[in-house]
Chain A
Amino acid sequence: MSTDSIAWPRSEAVSRPFVDQLHEWITTVDHKRLGILYIVYALIFLIIGGVEATVMRIQLIRPHSDFVSPQVFNRMFTMHGTTMIFFVAMPLVFGFANYLLPLMIGARDMAFPRLNAFSFWLTAFGGLLLYFSLVGANGLYGAGNAPDVGWFAYAPLTSLAFSPGHSTDFWTLSLLVSGFGSIGTAINIIATILCMRCPGMTLGKMPLLAWLNLVMSGLVLLAVSPLTAAQIMLMIDRYLGGHFFDTQAGGSAVIWMHFFWIFGHPEVYVLVIPAFAFISEIVPVFSRKAMFGYPIMVAATVAIGFLSMSVWAHHMFTVGMNSNANTFFVLSTMAISVPTGIKIFNWLATMWGGKIVFKTPMMFAIGFLFQFLIAGLTGIMLSSAPFDWHLGNSYFVVAHFHYVIVGGILFGVFGAFYYWFPKMSGKMCNETLGKWHFWLFLIGFHLTFDFMHVPGLLGMPRRIYSYEPGRGCEIWNLIVTIGVVFQTLGVLVFVFNLLWSYFRGETAGRDPWDAWTLEWSTSSPPPAYNFSTIPTVRSRRPLWDLKHPDDPDWKYE
């Protein structure tokens, strides 16, 4: 019997006082609501971080511009980097994982709902703490407000002598607090995936999204913890007079770099693996084919997880390590392109011969494939130590990692928004607006980040607040800033589309994409308990089995 025929009381139908609703959202332990809280929170910070990027680009639109002072420029790039990584990308990743995982593995909630809420509020207050620095960081010193030490905060710039006031303390504390939140969520995700699967869903029958989030959470445990340790050391240096990074007392500035990048590089994979997960769900559904090479995808993801722990010092080629270390990190970095390449081929092979449906989620997925490939190629260029000596700390590096984070991760996340918005809201996203969003953002992205490689090759260093005319950088910087206009328009269309579709969109029904994973078997939006009966599965595509009882998947897997 279908669950449709039972009339569940719709609590949303009754309009309740705003305070009651607010109270419900703040005290919620429901994984779906927490997922949406994470996502909305991340979108707000996405706008803030975007404004900071725009300020930087306006400053760099022409040489000798004085739109902002050098001090403000330093704060802008520090806040932009910290915000985008810790308070946009991480919450987006965790938000989607929170919302989707229990639905996709046939569970009613995460393994630890209250830990889930606790982790969210830690992350949320971490972000507020970072921005409270604008008010509170002056301290008694009257020194600067927002943190201005760069998002990787190299020692000894973070020592009391060079960073008086409390701006660096706010930076440290906010990362410490949100780091605890990340570790809590990662523990929760692993426990959910391993212990909450519905009957029949063995590890080999989980949706790829679950597998990839499992690897991502393992990386969070092993990567965010070193950052936590390093932040504790920095606090000891700043508050208790310790000497960890105090070079005048025998401490080492280089060891901070090691500790930071032991976190920093796996962090890239923490963010990109969930993007892989979105693509791995979107590409098969819109190619009308099962995922090509599921076991190889899992193996490649696990390989990426392991390899990503051994590549961190490729961020430090220009520091002057010995040649053995350089060689090791060159080789390990190049090795990680192998499993990543396997994934690209698997997605292409899934599309090959399929009946591709060019809906907005699929367009973003194809954009992801194309751009992530280029990002990987410039990554291989930079992984070669001699080449990196030339380009390290230049705009080429900035262009490279924005290609990964915007061209790869953000495109994957946009695809996920369009794909799962009908499930989360019960309404379809507007296709026309979605296409406008895609093309505006695609054009803006390529104007900005394709052309950003060039001033890097010409020798323009990152993080400078101005530059000299007559060195060939003017035209490139102008084009880069023009691209920002298109990206901004794209994001505005996106936000408008979300709001418009939420209030005016067509009703989606439970399965608008004719998809195959369990989240589409329940109503949109799902009831608080997700499934009235816990489902049982026999293959990787339980809904395919249900729709095609004559030719189910489990006969072949």
Chain B
Amino acid sequence: MSIAVPEMNVPEPNWVLPPRGRVAMFCLIAAEAAIFTIFVVAYLFYLGKNPMGPQPRDVLEAPIFYSICLLSSSLTIHMAVLALRKGRIGNFGAWWGLTIGLGAAFLYGTASEWHRLIYREGLTISTNLFGTTYYSLVGLHGSHVIVGLIGLSTVMAFTLLGKVSQEHAERVDVLSLYWHFVDVVWVVVFTVVYIIGR
């Protein structure tokens, strides 16, 4: 007996499935969220258990300006995607470049904070438990900002080469989801480290 590919009389009308890029990015975000949860739990668990050396209360200062930079980059990347959807490549490039600038500013903020902590306050990752958890959590977030910036810069390079057009809006949107996630994580990290932690 030969079995043909099963074909039925009634074809499904409007067979639409979710876009795989978005689904995959949401899955990646779920996995990343689980990783961050473990680091946040460790930070909270070890709060106040630090026997010696610099304490959060004494050395941490909330990086308000740089946090505003990072959070507002969520808005600019959203504007960039909107512009690309409408096919305005010039606007897209401008908003996208601004997003990269804001992300880089945030990284500079983290770098200068770490420089101050290491050279003036004498706090390194091995100084005490606070140093270990602080640098791990903030560093984990910072490494995600770096990865995000590499992704954003790649798109920027293609934009400057004139290879990005309206049809890429969906893909660019998937990347922007990652960037939004990095921003949301910073809200959590900021709350834990600079508000609850002090």
Contacts A195-B17, A249-B51, A259-B38; A521 near B6 (Cβ below 8 A): yes
- CB of B34 within 8 A of CB of A225, answer yes
Interface check A103, CB cutoff 8 A: no
Q: Which of A528-554 contact B (CB under 8 A)?
A: 531-538, 542-543, 545-547
Of the stretches A23-31, A196-204, A298-306, A483-491, the one at the interface is A196-204
- Bound complex: CA A547 to CA B6 (Å): 10
Kindly supply a per-residue 1/0 record for chain B positions 55-80, scoring 1 wherever the CB is within 8 Å of any chain A CB and 0 otherwise. Answer: 00000000000000000000000000
B27 touches A187 (CB 8 A): yes
> Do B5 and A187 touch (CB < 8 A)?
no
Kindly state whether residue A183 has any CB partner on chain B within 8 Å.
yes
Is there a chain A Cβ closer than 8 Å to B119's Cβ?
no
What residues of chain B lie closer than 8 Å to A2, measured between beta carbons?
2-4
Q: Mark B124-166 against chain A: 1 for CB-CB distance below 8 A, else 0.
A: 0110110011001000100000000000000000000000000
Known A183-B31, A200-B8, A236-B136; contact A195-B15, beta-carbon cutoff 8 A: no
Q: How large is the interface on B (under 10, 10 to 19, 20 to 34, 35 or more residues)?
A: 35 or more
Residue in B39, B51, B132 with the greatest tally of chain A CB atoms within 10 Å? B132
**Chain A residues with CB below 8 A from B5, complex form:** 3, 521-522, 531-535
Of B20, B46, B49, B133, the residue contacting A196 (CB under 8 A) is B20
Distance between A259 CB and nearest chain B CB, rounded to angstroms: 6
Q: Are A537 and B6 in contact (CB under 8 A)?
A: yes
A195 near B30: Cβ-Cβ < 8 Å: no
Which chain B residue has the least Cβ–Cβ distance from A188? B24
List the A residue with the shortest CB-CB distance to B28: A187
Contact of A250 with B46 in the complex, beta carbons under 8 Å: yes
Contact indicator A250/B50 (Cβ below 8 Å): yes
Contact across chains for B24 and A112 when beta carbons are under 8 A apart: yes
Tell me which residues across on chain B come within 8 A of A457, comparing CB atoms: none
B188 beta carbon closer than 8 Å to chain A: no
Is B10 an interface residue, CB under 8 A from the partner? yes
Contacts of B126 in A (CB 8 A): 240-243
Known A-B contacts A242-B126, A249-B128, A250-B129; A221 and B3 likewise in contact (beta carbons under 8 Å): no
Q: Is A230's beta carbon under 8 Å from chain B? A: yes
Known: A2-B2, A537-B6. A195 touches B20 (CB 8 A): yes
Taking the nearest CB of chain B, how far is it from the CB of A198, in angstroms? 9
Instruction: List residues of chain B with CB within 8 A of the CB of A195.
Output: 17-20, 23
CA distance A251 to B46 in the complex (A): 7
Interface string of A208-249 (1 = CB under 8 A from B): 000000000110011111101110110011001111100001
Binding site for A on B (CB under 8 A): 2-8, 10-12, 15, 17-20, 23-24, 27-28, 30-32, 34-39, 42, 45-46, 49-51, 125-126, 128-129, 132-133, 136, 140
